[in-house]
Structure 1
């Protein structure tokens, strides 16, 4: 007998988080769900998929493709160079190469059970990509762009086969990197919203693509307005002033619910334990609250922001490790 799936539980973090702490959080959530699936597959923890939406403090991350022995010396030098810019550095087990995460970008960590979704790894990546492309397509007007696409549609994937969301042949707005353990996913996607991340991206060859530059939703005009009857709640960002983290997450949540949860989503803190916010979300909710409380204490102790709005300017930032004529 098949076990019915539950609505996706989502949570939006209130402030930018340290990347290394979210790595620990992801590992703990996956471990909790793996144990729950083994001990009681009918439990809520085993059955409830989770979406966490957040911003990071400025961080450069690298994935499995940059952990090969031939890459380690180059990556060590890059770490020192980029740390001088004012960003953290993290080595992850997701797929992909060096990229950037920071304020002005929405990061989505997706904890899905692919066996419940009946998806292979390739089909899962394809669905994430199509979900993001439909959101970006409806959020931008590419018709006036010199290198715009036929039909005013983004490339997803890129014509050369690169995974991600590309408004034009030479620009990228969203990256995807995943990890899967025994059918349970972690990591997910990053979508640039404001211009804030772009100077940081200029310090690297993001995802190993030297001919492609980073852009954000704010780099393009919004699409022409449509009658409300022709739109979905998530489908448009009517004006540049609404291209904010809060506005984008509000529109992404129902879209993710539609594409991965049968249309249903619930706030994480409202599930389990009688719906009491201080107790809700079960073990996952407890971990999320601990991280939010820790981040708030760090910010209070620091007397304000814990990160730089822009990278530190210095000639050293132009002295990266050059490989095949580019900083990698």
Structure 2
């Protein structure tokens, strides 16, 4: 789902300003952008690997936000040559959250206090975020991927970056013989009515944060407590539900890594958390 007025205004501005907007994407948004990314095969300008971090356990959402903020700042410093490191500049964080409802920029500040309290009483956290979109759920059994990338290195604009993420999820689902697709609504779907993955991104001075949430073996009953992404007539599904086989995020990570390599045309290398994340922040992530 996207605010077309906001996107239209963004597209009229210089690219550096445009990229400061949070956005998700739809077919209508692609029309506004004036170009489709369906056949995008643009390669990155270098072959430097992307690092990926795998966080154990369930990571609190606010700690994950702090991690993303740190990695975005780190990426900017590397670009500005104010930080030297032997580790990859671009990173993807793979993790799971405890039960958490998040509201995107489209409804920030619009959720009634009573509704927020109702969701918290279910045993979930609630956060308003800078990503695009409306309300969604994150929880155990859902694989989260937060790419921290400088999109200029991949020769991608905002629309094509989101399209590349969609294709990455579709490629990963295909490894489980799930025929996933995009529709006029945001996210990745099985058929027209069952969402298997949600997307919401934010770009700050060309560097991405937030990302995707792929349902592996998450308890889908949590989604009954909200109208996911504002789509009251649509449902949700998971890899486990589609295949009939219990499939955890840990099972899916190697496949999603391969899909990122295929669709972003770069090797991914595993990076130890201690080599990138400061001790104080690491303690927050692991507690």
Name the TM-score, length of structure 1 as normaliser. Answer: 0.69
| Superposed CA offset, 1:120-174 (max 9, x none) | 0000000100110121133145xxxxxxxxxxx3221x1xx11211102221110
Identify unmatched segments of 5+ residues in structure 2. 1-43
Equivalent residues of 2:187, 2:199 under 8 A apart: yes
Give the structure 2 partner of residue 206 of structure 1.
228
Shift of residue 50, structure 1, vs aligned partner: 0.5
For residues 158 and 206 of structure 2, what CA distance do their matches in structure 1 show?
9
Q: How does 1:219-238 map to 2 (within 5 A)?
A: 219-221=241-243
Name the TM-score, length of structure 2 as normaliser. Answer: 0.78
Give the structure 2 partner of residue 114 of structure 1.
151
Q: How does 1:139-288 map to 2 (within 5 A)?
A: 139-141=176-178, 153-156=179-182, 158=183, 161-194=184-217, 196-221=218-243, 240-241=245-246, 243-262=247-266, 264-269=267-272, 280=275, 285-287=276-278
Aligned residues: 244
| Superposed CA offset, 1:66-106 (max 9, x none) | 12xxxx35443321110111100111100000000010100
Does residue 294 (structure 1) correspond to residue 278 (structure 2)? The answer is no
Shift of residue 211, structure 1, vs aligned partner: 0.7
For residues 190 and 149 of structure 2, what CA distance do their matches in structure 1 show?
27
For residues 21 and 245 of structure 1, what CA distance do their matches in structure 2 show?
19
SS in 2 for 1:286: coil
| Superposed CA offset, 1:6-31 (max 9, x none) | 20101111111100111111112111
Equivalent residues of 1:33, 1:45 under 8 A apart: no
SS in 2 for 1:293: helix
Give the structure 1 partner of residue 23 of structure 2.
none
Give the structure 2 partner of residue 7 of structure 1.
49
Q: How does 1:55-94 map to 2 (within 5 A)?
A: 55-67=96-108, 72-94=109-131
CA RMSD of aligned residues (A): 2.3
Shift of residue 188, structure 1, vs aligned partner: 0.5
Bigger radius of gyration: 1
Shift of residue 199, structure 1, vs aligned partner: 1.2
SS in 2 for 1:52: strand
Give the structure 1 partner of residue 94 of structure 2.
53
Equivalent residues of 1:163, 1:176 under 8 A apart: yes
More strand by share: 2
Identify unmatched segments of 5+ residues in structure 1. 142-152, 223-239, 270-276, 299-328
| Superposed CA offset, 1:264-308 (max 9, x none) | 121112xxxxxxx85x3xxxx124x64453354x4xxxxxxxxxx
| Greater relative contact order, per chain length (Cα 8 Å cut-off, separation 6+) | 2
SS in 2 for 1:14: strand
